[in-house]
Amino acid sequence: MLHHHGHIPPESVPLLLQKPANVLFVFDDLDQCKQSLDPSVHTLCSDPSQAASVSCLVASLLHGSLLKGAAFVVAARPTGSLTCLSGTKVEVLGFLKPQREAYFNGFFTDPAAANKARIHMERTLGFYDICTSPRFCWTVSSVYKSLMDAGAKLPETLSQLYVDILVHLVQTLSLNKACNRDLMLALGKMASHCVLDQHLSCTKEEMDSFGFQQFLTSVGVFLEVDVDQSDGRVFSFYSNLMQEFLLAVSFFLDKSMSEGVEKMLVKHNSRAKFLDLFLSGLSEPLQRRPLEILLGELNSDRIMDFNRWFKSSSEATLKGFYKDKHYHCFHLLHQAQNESLVKEIITPSARIGISYGDLSLQDCAALNYVVTCLGELEQLNLYRTRNLTEGQAEMLAPTMSLSHKISLSDSSLSTGAVPHLASALSRGLTKELNLSHTRLGDEKFKILCAGLRDCKLHTLILLVCRLTEAICEDLVSVLTSGTSQLCVLDMRFNEIGDQGFTKLCKALQSPLCKLQELQVQSCKLTAASMEALSGALCSGQSELRKVNLTQNAIGERGVEALCKSLQNPLCKLKSLNFFDSELTGACCPHFMEALMLEHCSLSELDLSVNDLGQEGALLLCQALRRPGCPIEKLSLKRCELTQSVFKALSTVLTSGTSQLKSLDVGINAVGDQGVKHLWDAVAQPICLLEELDVEMTGLTDACVEDLCAAIRASKTLKSLELRNNSLTNTSVPALVQVMQDSHNMLEMNLKYNDFGEEAFNMLDECEKIIY
């Protein structure tokens, strides 16, 4: 210490050794230490007079074996190399928004100027980590003040800021253009050396080799000059950012083409985070023009080389699925500030719809710039954003307002983010918003409703959002606002209960409500709220065409109430889903009564996973045979159907009056004999069936001859579901052949049958077969 630090008086050393508890050691930039400080790799010393290596001395001090009781402060950037240290860890946050505001207010004497400068910085630079640095805030304030005093435009990007900084620094030297250029080239060589060799500083000899001989009296403007341990001068850059910017400037200044941009970036990029961003900014004529006035024109060949590289690499990047590479491309475009370049690079083949979950603030700013240049975005996919903060939502608000679809499924939104989403919806183009699995909750949804009342939203998906009855009044207010365009509302798996649903049904009776599709699967509904739904459907005001009541305890009483509405000529319902809704055969007379009426408009009915049994199902078949029965799609999966029911369904399909095009009778154990009735029906030219699902009905190889005959004879059948049956390798040649020969069949699903591996090669021969 006495040898290397001349300011320590020799007489203080005995005091230090006698009372180490009075001593505080400060280790700054300890992460730059190249040697390991892990105690396991050293024999720690305890005697201050013992000779030891520097790394051993430092490790012995930090781990308490040398000068026991001494205190330490270690200042370092986050790094894994110091994990061996124990003690209290403090994260230095620097200037956050409130501190930056106070700083700008202190720097500028005019409050209006301070406010203008601060707002501009937060908008254009506030998303960079470097804004937490007081030194950077001083730099920005100084540049802004100079520009504002001159009536000049403030920089929009980091590249533009550093152009302004460099112009100011060069002007202070009052050198001619040739000298300015030579100085920049020398600084560029030094910057490259520091980046590649990870040197923080350079010696006088190294500076001479870079071409600084005539500039050593001027470099203090750009470099920090210190005295090293041997009393020689060492030179270092004030910041890594300026180091990288000067490297970019010197690359474009160099008249030689000894090294192309791609090679140069590969060489430097792993250690120079902003280098290609600065190159992108400098590649644009308007942005580099202030520098060219002082330095002369940059190398046009190198700029063209960069532009070629940028366009080709961006095209490849944006066709891929790596979101981090997409983000980096957006950052390059943001620095370039060229709207026509954005439109040239973001072509229809670019996969901009991939998930952009967990964007940083910097990423949000870059994406926002790109989308603003494009004017609109088909889909903003923020799937699995772990925490959409208020700052991110505020930054993304213009992008959200320009997006036709927004997906935030499996995401978490902070309370502060919701008002910005609501505001974007109210003034934007968004037609579809997906908030599935966001755990939104009642409080945040109520905030969102402010934007839902006056927006272009057509579809709102709220699947599993932890909503309750408490939000239903707000939802009614949205639906009856007169400005809401909402047509599709997906409320599945939210426990709104009968009381909440009854409130929603009041909205359905309003002539202002435009809702056409309502999904309320597993919403804790019972028969008690079906009267309210029936009343809405019969009101003559409801536009509802599709209702999904899956997995609610509807029962016979609920079915009876809804079937009354189906009999009403004012009811416009087309699709009704009662999947797993506690129905029995006793419900079927009500369905029969409704379907027998001429003005019934229902075309899709799903009664799957209900114990209808033979008697109930036969009553349904009776209604289906009525001339003019509108049912086109019928699902009776796992309804305890028998062979007699399958025979009755065959009669329906060949009646000449049936409109049935899709039939699902899977998971009914009727075997080959039962399903044979359907094969016979499909073979008839009068049958209109296009989709047939006989999954898990007990089919064996014995059915294949009838199955193939039906496919060959049918002119309409397109899709056949045969999963989970007992077909074996024996059936495969016939099934492959019939699918290859058929012109109308598009798909046959044979998954989970009893095929051996030897059958898979044959199945591969037909692309229309899934197995």
Please compute the mean of the pLDDT values over residues 438-455 and round it to a whole number. 95
Residue 422 lies in a domain: no
pLDDT tens by residue, 659-691: 999 999 999 999 999 999 999 999 999 999 999
Residues 624 and 597: beta-carbon distance below 8 Å = no
Nearest of 348, 400, 394, 349 to residue 372 by alpha carbon: 400
Q: Which of 41-55, 416-430, 463-477, 642-656 has the lowest mean pLDDT?
A: 41-55
pLDDT tens by residue, 378-416: 999 999 999 999 999 999 999 999 999 999 999 999 999
- Whether 81 has a pLDDT exceeding 80, the answer reads no
Q: Which of 71-85, 97-111, 490-504 has the lowest mean pLDDT?
A: 71-85
pTM: 0.86
The SS3 call for residue 547 is strand
Q: Can you tell me the distance from the alpha carbon of 277 to that of 300, in angstroms, rounded to the nearest whole number? A: 18
pLDDT tens by residue, 200-233: 889 999 999 999 999 988 888 999 988 765 567 8
The confidence score (pLDDT) of residue 216 equals 84
Residue 500 lies in a domain: no
Residue 478 lies in a domain: no
- Please give the C-alpha separations between residue 388 and each of 104, 352, 589, in angstroms, as whole numbers: 28, 19, 52
Note the helical H segments in 108-176.
111-124, 134-149, 158-173
- Whether 117 has a pLDDT exceeding 90, the answer reads yes
Please compute the mean of the pLDDT values over residues 510-521 and round it to a whole number. 97
**Residue 453 dihedral angles phi and psi, to the nearest 5°:** -70, -30
User: Looking at residue 439, what DSSP letter applies?
Assistant: -
Residue 592 lies in a domain: no
Residues 559 and 578: beta-carbon distance below 8 Å = yes
Residues 139 and 169 in one domain: no
Residues 79 and 101 in one domain: no
Q: Which domain holds residue 79?
A: 1-92
Q: Which of 82-91, 178-187, 389-398, 737-746 has the lowest mean pLDDT?
A: 82-91
Residue 172 lies in a domain: yes
The confidence score (pLDDT) of residue 228 equals 67
Confidence of residue 374 (pLDDT cuts 50, 70, 90): very high
Instruction: Please give, one letter per residue, the 3-state secondary structure of 184-217.
Output: HHHHHHHHHHHHHHCCCCEEHHHHHHHCCHHHCC
Residues 768 and 736: beta-carbon distance below 8 Å = no
Residues 31 and 143 in one domain: no
pLDDT tens by residue, 273-289: 999 999 999 999 999 99
Please compute the mean of the pLDDT values over residues 620-641 and round it to a whole number. 97
DSSP-assigned states of every residue in 55-109:
HHHHHHHHTTSSSTT-EEEEE--S-GGGTT--S---------HHHHHHHHHHH-S
Long-range contacts, stretch 54-62, CB < 8 angstroms, 24+ apart: 58/27, 58/33, 61/25, 62/27, 62/37
Residues 150 and 170 in one domain: no
Residues 182 and 302 in one domain: yes
Q: Can you tell me the distance from the alpha carbon of 768 to that of 453, in angstroms, rounded to the nearest whole number? A: 46
**Residue 586 dihedral angles phi and psi, to the nearest 5°:** -65, -15
Please compute the mean of the pLDDT values over residues 626-654 and round it to a whole number. 97
Structural domains in the chain (count): 4
Q: Greater confidence, 225 or 469?
A: 469
Residue 555 lies in a domain: no
Nearest of 331, 248, 228, 346 to residue 288 by alpha carbon: 248
Q: What is the mean pLDDT of the chain?
A: 94
Residue 541 lies in a domain: no
The confidence score (pLDDT) of residue 197 equals 87
Q: Which of 108, 135, 154 is the last residue of a domain?
A: 154
Query: Phi-psi bin for 610: left (phi > 0), alpha (psi -120 to 50), beta?
Result: beta
Residues 669 and 761 in one domain: yes
Q: Can you tell me the distance from the alpha carbon of 499 to that of 518, in angstroms, rounded to the nearest whole number? A: 16
pLDDT tens by residue, 12-31: 888 888 999 999 999 887 87
pLDDT tens by residue, 31-71: 777 778 888 888 899 998 889 888 899 999 999 899 999 99
Q: Which of 43, 66, 92 is the last residue of a domain?
A: 92
Residues 311 and 265 in one domain: yes
Residues 687 and 657: beta-carbon distance below 8 Å = no
Q: Can you tell me the distance from the alpha carbon of 469 to that of 392, in angstroms, rounded to the nearest whole number? A: 30
CB atoms within 10 A of CB 611: 12
Residue 548 lies in a domain: no
Residues 121 and 268 in one domain: no
Residues 191 and 173 in one domain: yes
Q: Which of 74-83, 101-110, 149-158, 589-598 has the lowest mean pLDDT?
A: 74-83
User: Looking at residue 263, what DSSP letter applies?
Assistant: H
Query: At 702, which CATH number?
Result: 3.80.10.10
**Residue 295 dihedral angles phi and psi, to the nearest 5°:** -110, -10
Q: Which of 319, 347, 362 is the last residue of a domain?
A: 319
Residues 638 and 731 in one domain: yes
Please compute the mean of the pLDDT values over residues 554-562 and round it to a whole number. 97
Nearest of 660, 593, 663 to residue 628 by alpha carbon: 660
Confidence of residue 6 (pLDDT cuts 50, 70, 90): low
CB atoms within 10 A of CB 286: 9
Residues 713 and 681: beta-carbon distance below 8 Å = no
Residues 179 and 290 in one domain: yes
The confidence score (pLDDT) of residue 185 equals 96
The confidence score (pLDDT) of residue 10 equals 83
Note the helical H segments in 388-522.
390-401, 417-427, 441-452, 472-479, 497-508
Residues 86 and 2 in one domain: yes
